[in-house]
Amino acid sequence: MLTHAFSLEGSSIKTVAQAVVAALIERLAEPPPAWCLHIYDPAAVDTGEEYSRPRLIHQEVITILKQRRRSLAKALCPTWSSQTHLAQVVLAAPTLTFMSITPPEHQQALRANMSPYVAGYVDIPDDKAPPSRAFKKLREAIEVFHLSPKRGETCVDLGACPGGWTHVMVERGLRATAIDRSPLDDRLMRNKNVTFLKGDAFTWLPKEPVSWLICDVITTPDRTLGILDTWLSKRHCSFFCVTVKFKGTPDFENLLKIRQLLRTTTRWYDGKQLTNNKNELTVVGEIAPGA
Ligand SMILES: C[S@@+](CC[C@H](N)C(=O)[O-])C[C@H]1O[C@@H](n2cnc3c(N)ncnc32)[C@H](O)[C@@H]1O
């Protein structure tokens, strides 16, 4: 989200950078607060193409700042946190640039609409080791929601095949029980920390509670609600990360039921459509003690 956005003059790398610097000097008082700079072209954010204009403008801003206001250049932080101002520059078109500077005190109110990632886009690097690209969804969820599955913990992966999510948990040192109708990738089937069980994701339950439930089964939201209800209400896990998938438009009726369930059974929960989600949401949380 851009708060109190304003437009900037200029179209070349140099003139846009000069306009950005002028706005920063005007709006960030001396001594300058910690601040962070996100520059992006919304049309190019998720194409994955090498696109240099935002990067070149960013470099030019730093160069000009070092000449004109060294203190501002020094106060620039590489990442946005709860203490930093966020300056966003949106390259909407070659001759149309918008800018916004959001102070830290507005972050709490805007937290659902602001992101520490440039344009909210989370770039999970490619990795040839996991057997499917679905691994990106779980790695992103772990990063964005600050999850911490750890060595020695246990997890159940419902609808696990070919094993991207199981791979992510096992490489973090967890022991995984993978439930699917089809076996996992051979390397995971041979992994001593993976137990594959042929079973039905909708009815299979562990004999003892596990640390994590992860579930990426392709089904309708009402059936995902059923899985969550059983696992959370009966406390079969401590933490969970589950995708809720849609066919066509979102199923708000069942989403509201899921939210109600999470409100009543968890210590905390969160959920959103991640960069690596397609027509689905990821919901995560920790079950409340005694829920
Ligand atoms: C999107 S894939 C999971 C991908 C996996 N998370 C990964 O990272 O590789 C969904 C899986 O759910 C499984 N599935 C669908 N219905 C199931 C059921 N009733 N019981 C067990 N597995 C099921 C499918 O066989 C499929 O492997």
pLDDT tens profile 57-95: 999 999 999 999 999 999 999 988 888 999 999 999 989
- Residue 216's nearest CA partner among 145, 135, 148 is 135
Confidence of residue 109 (pLDDT cuts 50, 70, 90): confident
**pLDDT value of position 46:** 62
**pLDDT value of position 48:** 55
Confidence of residue 291 (pLDDT cuts 50, 70, 90): low
Q: Across the chain, where does the E strand assignment appear?
A: 6-8, 35-40, 85-93, 96-102, 154-158, 175-180, 194-198, 210-215, 237-245, 266-272, 280-287
Q: How far apart are CA 257 and CA 98, in angstroms?
A: 39
Please state, for a pLDDT cut of 90, what percent of the chain lies above it: 84
Substitution candidate for ligand 1 out of 132, 181, 230 with most atoms within 8 A of CB:
181
| Cα of 264 from ligand 1 centre, angstroms | 28
Q: Across 103-174, where does the E strand assignment appear?
A: 154-158
**Which CATH class name applies to 6-120?**
alpha beta
Mean pLDDT of the residues in the chain: 94
Residues with Cβ within 8 Å of residue 12, at least 6 apart in sequence: none
**pLDDT value of position 49:** 59
**pLDDT value of position 204:** 98
pLDDT in tens, 259-275: 999 999 999 999 999 99
| pLDDT above 90: residue 52 | no
| Cα of 9 from ligand 1 centre, angstroms | 51
| Cα of 163 from ligand 1 centre, angstroms | 9
**Considering 245, 257, 272, 278, which one is annotated as catalytic?**
245
Select from 3.40.50.150, 3.40.50.300, 3.40.50.720, 3.40.50.2020 the CATH code of 135-287. Answer: 3.40.50.150
Sign of the CA dihedral with 148 first, then 150, 156, and 162 last: positive
Q: Which atom from ligand 1 is nearest to the alpha carbon of 162?
A: 9
Report which protein residue has its CA nearest ligand 1's atom 12: 159
Cβ 211 vs Cβ 239: under 8 Å? yes
Cβ 160 vs Cβ 184: under 8 Å? yes
Report which protein residue has its CA nearest ligand 1's atom 24: 159
Q: Does 73 or 29 have the greater pLDDT score? A: 73
6-120 and 135-287: identical CATH topology:
no
Residue-range domain boundaries for the chain:
6-120, 135-287
- Mean pLDDT for 212-217 is 98
Ligand 1: which residues within 6 Å by Cβ? 132, 134-135, 159-165, 179-182, 200-202, 216-218
Is position 257 annotated as part of the catalytic site? no
Report which protein residue has its CA nearest ligand 1's atom 10: 217
**pLDDT value of position 116:** 86
Confidence of residue 29 (pLDDT cuts 50, 70, 90): confident
Amino acid identity for residue 165 in this structure:
W
pLDDT in tens, 125-182: 999 999 999 999 999 999 999 999 999 999 999 999 999 999 999 999 999 999 999 9
| Cα of 218 from ligand 1 centre, angstroms | 6
Residues with Cβ within 8 Å of residue 289, at least 6 apart in sequence: 267
| pLDDT above 60: residue 51 | yes
